[in-house]
Amino acid sequence: MHSTHLHDLTVASAHPTSEGLVTYYRCPCGAWEVRTTAGLDAAIAATRPGGD
C-alpha cells in the first residue's frame, strides 16, 4: 500500500532564470519538486525579524 513517505529528493537539474535559480528535484517514486532561489529568498525575508 502506498502511503506518504519522505521523498528521497535528489537534484535532477538546475536552470538560472530571470527570477532566480530554478532547481528540479526528483524522487525514485516518481515525485518531482521544483524550488526556486527567489522563493527561498522570500521565505527568509518573511521569517526575518523586523528592525534594522
Return the DSSP state at 45.
H
Collapsing DSSP states into helix, strand and coil, what is residue 50? coil
State the Cα–Cα distance between residues 16 and 31, nearest whole angstrom.
22
Q: Which of 29, 44, 45, 46 binds Zn ion (CB under 5 A)?
A: 29
Where do runs of H (alpha helix) occur along 1-52? 37-47
* Interface with Zn ion, residue 22, by CB under 5 A: no
The residue count for binding Zn ion (CB under 5 A) is 4
Minimum CB distance to Zn ion, residue 51 (Å): 40
Q: Is 42 in the site for Zn ion (CB under 5 A)?
A: no
> What is the binding site for Zn ion (CB under 5 A)?
7, 27, 29, 31
